[in-house]
A and B are shown apart, each in its own frame.
Chain A
Amino acid sequence: MESDKRPHYPCDFCEDELDLIENLVRGNTRTNEDSMSNRSRRNDCGCNDNCDRDNCNSEDENAASRDCMCRCEHSNSMSDRCSECEMPSFNTNTALAIVYSPDHSFNDMYDAEEGLCEGTLFRRLNKPFEGATVRGGGR
C-alpha cells in the first residue's frame, strides 16, 4: 500500500539526533552522553560494512567523506536531508552557527519608561544576565 511506503517521520536515527540537539540546547550533558552511547551502539555510520567510528573500512565513498562519524544512515554528503524522513541531517556539509528564531509578535510589551529601564520594549526579549547569581550564589 502507498501508506506503507511512507517514511516514518522522523526516522529512529533522526529522532535520536533531535534528542541530542534538544539536550545540547538545555545544557543537559548527562543525557547527551546517553544519546551518544545509543548512537555508538547503533554503529550507524552510513556504510553497510562492519566498522567502528575510529576505523572505518567501508568502500562507500560517502561514508569516507563523513569520516565515519555516526550520522543518519540515510543521509549522504551531497544532501542536507535524510532521504527517508526528510529531516535535516547534520553531516559535514552542514553550516555551523545557523540558528532559528520564532516569529516575533507585537504584544506583551512594557510601557516606554519601563522599556527604557529594561533595555527592550518587549517582555519576551528581556533576558537579564543571571550567570553571576547562579555561579556566585547571589549578588
Chain B
Amino acid sequence: MNTHKNSSLHALAFALYETALYLDGHPNDRRAIEYYDKTRAQYEKELEKYERENGPVTMNSDAATKNGTWQWVNTPWPWQNEYHKS
C-alpha cells in the first residue's frame, strides 16, 4: 500500500477522488477503504496546515470563519500568495 510522504494537497485530493470512483464499483474492497481512510487523514492534516498558513481553500472550510471574521475575502487568492513559489 502506498503512503504519501510529501504529497501536495492537490495530489492527495486527486488520490481521494480516484479511490472514491473505484469504491463506487467496489464498495466492499477493504484495501481500498483502508487506503481511502489513510489518504483522507493525511489530506485533513495537510489541509489544516495549508489553511493555517494561507487561509481557507474552499468557502465552506472551517478556516473561512476563523477569528470571527469572514476569511474567504480577507486572505490572499492563490495567485496572490506564495502558492506558486512553493
Contact = CB atoms under 8 A, between A and B. Distances in A.
B57 interface: no
Contacts of A107: 31
A106 B32 contact: yes
Interface in B1-38: 2-4, 6-8, 10-12, 14-15, 18-19, 22, 25-26, 29, 31-32, 35
Contacts of B14: 112, 115-116, 121
B28 to A, nearest CB: 11
Nearest to A113: B11
Interface of A: 104, 106-107, 109-113, 115-116, 120-122
Contact of A106 (B3, B12, B35): B35
A70 B14 CA distance: 49
Contacts of A106: 22, 26, 29, 31-32, 35
A38 B7 CA distance: 57
A111 B7 contact: yes
B18 A120 contact: yes
Contacts of B39: 112
A104 B15 contact: no
A104 B25 CA distance: 9
A116 B10 contact: yes
B18 A122 contact: yes
B18 A115 contact: yes
Nearest to B15: A112
Contacts of A111: 2-4, 7
The 10 closest A-B pairs by CB, nearest first: A121-B18, A112-B11, A112-B15, A112-B7, A116-B11, A106-B32, A116-B14, A113-B11, A112-B4, A111-B2
A120 B19 CA distance: 10
A113 B7 contact: yes
Contacts of A109: 2
B48 to A, nearest CB: 17
Contacts of B22: 104, 106, 121-122
Nearest to B5: A111
Nearest to B18: A121
